[in-house]
Structure 1
Amino acid sequence: MQLEYAVFQELRRIADSGTFLTYGIRVWRREGGGKLLLRQVSDVSVSRPFVEQIAALCNRYELAPEHLMDVIEDAFGK
């Protein structure tokens, strides 16, 4: 199975704090000529480089999608 971890951005709104840009990770499986979304974790961080680093490590080590939250939590030292 060919997996691809990719960063995406979205705008978040918090009452009394306003709107801000945040980044998450999507996991895609390549199938035939397209891609199937397997998992999405929103609002990982406001730091794009931090989220890109997590996604790159997931791609490098071909992480199984069910372990994505564990890797994110570990990246924050939880």
Structure 2
Amino acid sequence: MVAQTPQQRKANERFAKQESAKRGKGKILAKPKQTSRSPVSTGWLVILAFVVCGGFFLEFLGIIPKLWSAIVASFSRLML
């Protein structure tokens, strides 16, 4: 048996609808689409984001006091 192409499938569905309308039967229901799931779980994504962004975040937290002290020192020099 050879697999149908999407064009053949659509044509077959149209034909089936026309034939069922001739016979007075109800509409043919289409198959529900399958939802695709990520191969990587949410937990692993969180761990990966922490590893990638966590180092940057911790470095940024270490720089903030140095920046603050530099801003305060330059501001105090301007006031003198």
Q: TM-score range by the shorter chain?
A: under 0.3
- Structure whose residues are more often strand by fraction: 1
TM-score (norm 1): 0.24
Q: Higher relative contact order at CA 8 Å, sep ≥6: structure 1 or structure 2?
A: 1
- Structure whose residues are more often helix by fraction: 2
